[in-house]
Structure 1
Amino acid sequence: MLNPPFPAAALYERVRRVIPPIEWPVFEDDIAAILALKRERNAVVLAHNYQTPEIFHCVADIVGDSLALARKAMEVEADVIVLAGVHFMAETAKLLNPSKTVLIPDEDAGCSLADSITAEDVRLLRQRYPGVPVVTYVNTSAAVKAESDICCTSGNARAVVESLGVDRVMMLPDEYLANNIAAETEVEIITWKGHCEVHERFTPAEVRQLREDHPGVVVLAHPECPPEVVAEADFSGSTAVMSDYVGQQKPPQVVLLTECSMSDNVAVNHPGVEFIRPCNLCPHMKRITLANIRRALEENRHEVTIDPAIAAPARRSVERMLAI
């Protein structure tokens, strides 16, 4: 085992509330190796909020939702970026850091939203709705971003839509996010039938049952949930906004209607809050593990590359979003 800058065992105190002691030895060797490899390679690990606690709290240098990762990726001074998340996030990091090596530990870590639309689909939509701006969710491939006018995340979607100063936009590909934003703005939004396989499974009946089982529980819903689920919730927002809500409001009991690991990661910092966990797993996020993060750093795999003809327009779409 490589010598880390400090004992990996000391990190257990951060996660002891969400990782049982019997599980920690399984993680310790990989954590120690990753910490050392990051120093040797001048590397950083960017981890999405849906990563498991041993990644999120023990080896990640930058954490957050897709908007936070996109912004912070631009400030990275390391030579190597390891993206602990899904493929479109690694592509976005590469778009914003073209001179750096960007690695994704498992190149099959995909996204149902990103898979729901292609660049050809966007071109056909432009023919059908000439002159209507295309707002594309960051949960898309670089090729789709390249066909778009501007990107958005769940945290800034309304601001992006309204920044265009038009009466009608196309918002792709998440139908539920688009419908939830349409309820908040006067702008007409043309949608696409893409859905997140995690959030689309939540139902209003499930929310009502949670309230019956846990009187007084506060329900927070991600805007990728169906609109009828958002209507049943007390509050809706991106993963970053949900985390901020818990920190500011400190509800005695809370439910986060989003991916499972989100509750674990937020719970680490809020020991006084009880988290009820009716969460759904993202099979793609769970393809990222300590073991393959370690292999990515040891073997320089899997490096993310983007065709320059796609990268330039895709980068413009992301940079326009970040400028708002």
Structure 2
Amino acid sequence: MLASTQGKATGLDAVYERVRHVIPSFEWPAFAPEIEAILRLKKERDAVILAHNYQTPEIFHGVADITGDSLALAREAMRVDAGVIVLAGVHFMAETAKLLNPTRTVLIPDLRAGCSLAESVTAADVRALKAKHPGVPVVTYVNTSAEVKAESDICCTSGNARRVVESLGVPRVIFIPDAHLARNVAAETGVEMIIWEGACEVHERFTARDIERIRFGHEGVTVVAHPECPRDVVQAADFAGSTADMVNFVRDRRPKKVALITECSMSDNVAVAFPEVEFVRPCNLCPHMKRITLGKIRHALETMTHEVTIDPAVSQRARRAIERMLEVR
């Protein structure tokens, strides 16, 4: 049945070979026709698909051309040659791709794919903070709208937040909107943070007690946490870092057993590359990421929707905050 579903020499055999130990063979026939159609449409539309690490394996390994965390996608978005970019992620990521590629068409397959962090703060909030703390630089996590970025001095991701803060050479910054990331960066740098109390609805649900349960139930497990988690979770982990850092940790250390304390599709995607590692899956799903499906990606390419547009008055200032971030090494 698997062979007959994949059929022609379309590359589907190679796709399934990559994901066969995370996608059961009985599920593959539901994905294969959509993947085949998307691969064809990408050629017809001169399109590339950028997929975040939290996308499901059939998207991440099946149709994506570029994958990674927010920092990697921001960097790679500037290097694509295609006329169309489809962002398999959430809306702020599509906006970031558009900011860095103003002449290209950027599509988001579902307009409802939002982010609790991005929705927690507005441009008016940032202006009020700047008025209250004049002269203090504003460091803004990329999980924000273009309007918020436009009010900022520099952006950061979880992968470079520490380097960005340290690059400013100041004793105090306004850090928005992730309070947990701010506290974790403050502990690493000693820089005073004026914190906006936003949080990721996935990572804030993890607790130090969860880490205790994982260690009790899985002897010898290595725990790797995302810095959007609360401070006590990060302290209870063996290592903390962005999703790219997590991949590098597993690649370099090759733990026999590992728990990635982040969105649960991450474990599925990393497991494809490291089948010899046992992944303990404490599963918190991002409801927004899961709005992106193969069917919606196919529809986006068929209808060229939904196109991301940004007010030119906003885009120039927001782009500069991202470019400043990308200049930090």
TM-score, length of structure 2 as denominator length: 0.97
Per-residue deviation, residues 277-314 of structure 1 (Å, max 9, x unmatched): 01200000000000000000000000000000000000
Deviations 1:175-208 (A, max 9, x none): 0000000000121111110000000000111100
**In 2: Cα distance, 1:318 partner to 1:40 partner:** 31
Q: Which residue of 1 aligns with 2:177?
A: 173
Is 1:232 the equivalent of 2:229? Answer: no
The Cα offsets for residues 5-46 of structure 1, whole Å up to 9 and x where unpaired, read as 723233111000100101000001010000011111110000
2:97 and 2:192 map into 1 onto residues whose CA distance is 31
Aligned equivalent of 2:58: 54
User: Which amino acid is 1:218 matched to?
Assistant: T
Q: Name 1:131's counterpart in structure 2.
A: 135
Aligned counterpart, 1:153: 157
Query: Does 2:202 correspond to 1:198?
Result: yes
Partner in structure 1 of residue 290 of structure 2: 286
Are residues 1:306 and 2:310 paired?
yes
The one of 248, 254, 276 equivalent to 1:272 is 276
CA distance in 1, matches of 2:202, 2:13: 33
User: Is 1:97 aligned to 2:80, yes or no?
Assistant: no
1:4, 1:172 → 2: CA distance?
50
1:263–1:215 distance in 2 versus 1, CA, 3 Å: same
Partners of 1:45 and 1:84 within 8 A in 2 = yes
Deviations 1:233-278 (A, max 9, x none): 0000000000110011000000000001000000000011000001
Q: How far apart are the structure 1 equivalents of 2:11 and 2:95?
A: 33
1:9 is matched with 13
Distance of 1:146 and 1:303 partners within structure 2: 20
Write out per-residue CA displacement over residues 100-143 of structure 1, whole angstroms, 9 at most, x where no aligned residue.
00000001100000000000000000011010000000000000
Aligned to 2:251: 247
Structure 2: runs of 5+ lacking an equivalent: none
CA distance 1:191–1:130, shift in 2 (3 Å): same
C-alpha separation in 2, matches of 1:184 and 1:162: 10
- Look up the SS of the partner of 1:18 in the other structure: coil
Offset, 1:4? 8.3
Shift of the alpha carbon at 1:220? 0.2
Which residue of the partner structure matches residue 209 of structure 1? 213
Any unmatched runs of 5+ in structure 1?
Answer: none
Question: Matched residue of 1:291: which SS?
Answer: helix
Q: How big is each residue's C-alpha offset from its partner over 1:41-87, in whole Å with a ceiling of 9 and x where there is no partner?
A: 11000000000000000100000000000000000000000000000
- Alignment of 1:63 with 2:67, yes or no, is yes
Task: Summarize the Cα distance change of 1:4–1:179 in structure 2 as closer, same or farther, 3 Å threshold.
Answer: farther
- RMSD of aligned residue pairs (Cα, Å): 1.2
What is the deviation of 1:165?
Answer: 1.3
Distance in structure 2 (CA, Å) of the matches to 1:141 and 1:250: 37
How far residue 215 of structure 1 moved from its aligned partner, in angstroms, is 1.3
CA distance in 2, matches of 1:41, 1:300: 9
1:109 is aligned to 2:109: no
Q: Paired residue for 1:76?
A: 80
Match of 1:37 in 2: 41
Moved runs in structure 1, 4+ residues, more than 3 A? none
